[in-house]
Amino acid sequence: MTQTAAEADIPTAVIATGGTIAMLADPASGVRRPTLSGATLAAAIRGLEVPLAHFQPYAIGSEDATFAHWLQLAREIAAVADAHAGVVVMHGTDTMEEAAYFMAECLPDAPISFCGAMRPPGTLGYDGGRNLLDAITVARSPLAPRLGTVVVMNHEVLPAWDVIKSDSVALSSFSTRHGTRIATVHDRQLRPLSLPLRFNWLGELPAVLPRADAVAYVRLTGSPGPRRFADAIAGAEGVVVEALGAGSVPAAVRAQLLGAAAQVPVVLSGRALSGPLQDEESYPHAWDDLLGGGVILEKRLDGPRARIRLSLCLALGREYRPLEADLI
């Protein structure tokens, strides 16, 4: 019988990148900065007796994370994943879903568990220790290689393609757009709840850095300003538009969108919190002009994730294909 990681005593890689989970108050100014190391945090978790190897490529608030940080993180994970029993990434929560999605796209076969904290160290209800413990439990579980990249927060295991920070302060902030909870984790017990999906991930690390300015990202509203919309997408190498409802694009900006689609990839995703685009049954032919003009319908991803996928495609010189899934 093959040994599990736990039996073989292989360490789990814990990569700290900053975020509230690590934010201690500076004694002089009182300002919180991400100075708590993964090793110090792990040492404070009672009963955590698994071998860990610690890495810290950078320490930032995740609002300052860039494609350069995420590419550096992806390269670090690629370098350590094979020799460790799973990879845990401690990350700020503000852009955790985007960082996790970036890793899932580039490294779909790596078992990566993201965690963070909604409350900083030393405050009542600090959730960093238990989230780290839960993420380590997931990373070391025999199921981890089948899950790819997940976010482990507040005892829930949520998939990178769907997870969202849905509340600015609640400990239960992390949920999903489509209700896709993979498992719960309590007291070092992982309880699977749903079957993993297999996606058409890009599965490649770009050799060149994706450019943050390459893709224009616009969220549509009622009464959009046609000139502002045109300004927002002018000169972009690709465009992601979050449409209304099931993919409605107001007449006021339709011509501009089609004009852009004649030049560069234009991806339409949805602004609604969940549900698919293109309800052909109810609105027959409503998307014919857009599809005929080359607009790509991204039915599964929200705008920020579609922006990451398109930015990676541009950096890799690949055509954008919508994210699709099969049951494993």
CB 327 within 8 A of CB 195: yes
User: Which residue type occupies 77?
Assistant: I
Say whether 12 is catalytic: no
CB 157 within 8 A of CB 150: yes
94 interacts with ligand ASP by CB under 6 A: yes
Torsion of CA 1, 195, 141, 74, to 10 degrees: 120
154 interacts with ligand ASP by CB under 6 A: no
Q: Which stretch binds ligand ASP (CB under 6 A): 58-66, 79-87, 103-111, 125-133?
A: 58-66
Q: How far is the CB of 81 from ligand ASP (least distance, A)?
A: 24
Binding characters for ligand ASP, 229-248, by CB under 6 A (x = yes): --------------------
149 interacts with ligand ASP by CB under 6 A: no
17 interacts with ligand ASP by CB under 6 A: no
Query: In a 10 Å sphere around its CB, with 0-12 CB exposed, 13-18 middle and 19+ buried, how is residue 215 labelled?
Result: buried
19 interacts with ligand ASP by CB under 6 A: yes
CB 46 within 8 A of CB 104: no
Residues 98-137 that bind ligand ASP (CB under 6 A): 116, 118
Q: Which stretch binds ligand ASP (CB under 6 A): 67-75, 86-94, 211-219, 263-271?
A: 86-94
Q: Which is nearer to ligand ASP, 20 or 256 (CB)?
A: 20
Backbone dihedral angles phi then psi of residue 242, each to the nearest 5 degrees: -90, 110
Question: Residue ranges of the alpha helices (H) in the chain?
Answer: 5-8, 38-43, 67-80, 96-106, 128-140, 144-147, 226-233, 251-261, 288-292, 303-316
61 interacts with ligand ASP by CB under 6 A: yes
Q: How far is the CB of 62 from ligand ASP (least distance, A)?
A: 3
Q: Which stretch binds ligand ASP (CB under 6 A): 88-96, 98-106, 230-238, 251-259?
A: 88-96
Q: How far is the CB of 58 from ligand ASP (least distance, A)?
A: 12
Instruction: Number of residues interacting with ligand ASP: please give it, by CB under 6 A.
Output: 10
CB 158 within 8 A of CB 115: no
Residue 262: name the closest of 238, 294, 287, 237 by CA: 294
**CB hemisphere CA count around 124 (13 angstroms):** 0
Give the residue nearest to ligand ASP (CB): 92
CB 80 within 8 A of CB 56: no
According to CB under 6 A, which one of 10, 12, 14, 20 is a site residue for ligand ASP? 20
Name the residues annotated as catalytic: 20
In the complex, the residues that contact ligand ASP under the rule CB under 6 A are: 19-20, 61-63, 92-94, 116, 118
